[in-house]
Amino acid sequence: MNIIQTNNLQKSFGKTKALQGLNLTVEQGQTYGFIGPNGSGKSTTIRVLLGLINPDGGTAEVFGKNPVQDAVEIHKRIAYIPGELALWPNLTGGEVLDFLGRLSGGADQKRQAELVERFQLDLSKKCRSYSKGNRQKVALVAAFSAKVELLILDEPTSGLDPLMELIFQNCLREATKNGQTVLLSSHILSEVEAVCDTLGIIRQGVLVESGKLSELKAIPGTTLEEIFLKHYGEDLAKAGERHD
């Protein structure tokens, strides 16, 4: 069963064409690495999937439902980490976790406590005094402790230190093992390679490559970087950069 399905998705902001016919399919149980540089349309795609913005053309379905019409229904089964994360400056980390949990009808308290421990998060601090990495941890704990089927993570590790990055990867593997489907938007190739089983590369609002990571790398000696540069080598050359 397809958890996420978009057909010829289009969206413009003024003159900027963010999505130009995107076809994205994420199947149940997949950990899908959604790769592309800044401004390629990753976050716009995710916002359409969440029903936050209306597409100009094409269709999108999550759990076979319409993201705008059935937003609340769909969101009961989703946890999301925004790419540009902001928290309420005068609430503590603990208050934010409780609030988000209550919105979804209760988080897994045991799991939450365990995650707080693992990410070494101080819940008594106000969000305004958190560093970027610590704000990110609050969102990660909220997402991984939610009782949901689909995790949509938009560059979730920005600001995390290498140690926390490893803990994040472990949590993600546990999520996959528990049967959760993951859409991981990222521009860190090594991260995607470490945790994802399926891959999609987006360029100028179009999905230019997608498939199982194992199949894409089937040709001996092919690295993820080479697959990526197959589509972006041109842009690199235009910028006058060389790649060895």
Partner 1 sequence: MTKFTGTLSLLRLAIRQDRFSLPVWIILPCLAFWGQVSFALAMPDWQVFLGELSSNPMTTAILGPIVPLTLEGAIMLRSMVQGALVLMIAAPLVVIRHTRSEEASSRAEFYLSRPVGKYAPFMAALILSMGGSLIAGLLVTILLLISGFAVAGSIVAGLTLAFAGCFFAGLALIIAQIFTAPKSAWIAITVLVGSTYFTMIMNNLSGGFSGWLWLAPQSWFRGTVPFGENAIWPFFVFALMCALTVFCAYAILKNRDIAGGLFAEPTGRTTAPSFLATPFALNLWQNKNMALAWSVGMAFLGLSVGAISPTIADQMSEMLASFASWGPAMAKLGNQEGLVALIIYMLGLMGGAILAVSMMIGLKSDESAGYTEMMLAKPISRERI
To the nearest whole angstrom, how small is the minimum distance from the Cβ of residue 136 to partner 1? Answer: 12
Binding mask 76-115 for partner 1 (x = CB under 8 A): x-xxx-x-xxxxxxxx---x---xx-xxxx----------
To the nearest whole angstrom, how small is the minimum distance from the Cβ of residue 103 to partner 1? Answer: 4
Could you tell me which stretch among 1-9, 49-57, 181-189, 233-241 binds partner 1 (CB under 8 A)?
49-57
Q: Is 64 in the site for partner 1 (CB under 8 A)?
A: no
Q: Are strands 198-203 and 31-35 parallel, antiparallel or unpaired?
A: parallel
Which residue in the block uniquely carries the two structure tokens 């989703």?
78
Among 8, 37, 73, 190, binds partner 1 (CB under 8 A): 73
Q: Where are the alpha helices (DSSP H) in 56-119?
A: 71-75, 93-103, 109-118
Instruction: Give the tokens for residue 29.
Output: 């149980």
Subset of 124-183 contacting partner 1 (CB under 8 A): 128, 139, 152
Cα(78)–Cα(55) distance, integer angstroms: 20
The smaller minimum CB distance to partner 1, of residues 102 and 230, is found at: 102
b/e 115-134 (16+ beta carbons within 10 angstroms → b): bbebbebebeeebeebeeeb
Instruction: Give the tokens for residue 130.
Output: 């958190």
Q: How many residues bind partner 1 (CB under 8 A)?
A: 36
Contacts of 144 (CB under 8 A, 6+ apart): 79, 111, 115, 151, 171, 174, 175
To the nearest whole angstrom, how small is the minimum distance from the Cβ of residue 84 to partner 1? Answer: 5
Positions touching partner 1 (CB under 8 A) are: 13-14, 47, 50-54, 70-73, 75-76, 78-80, 82, 84-91, 95, 99-100, 102-105, 128, 139, 152
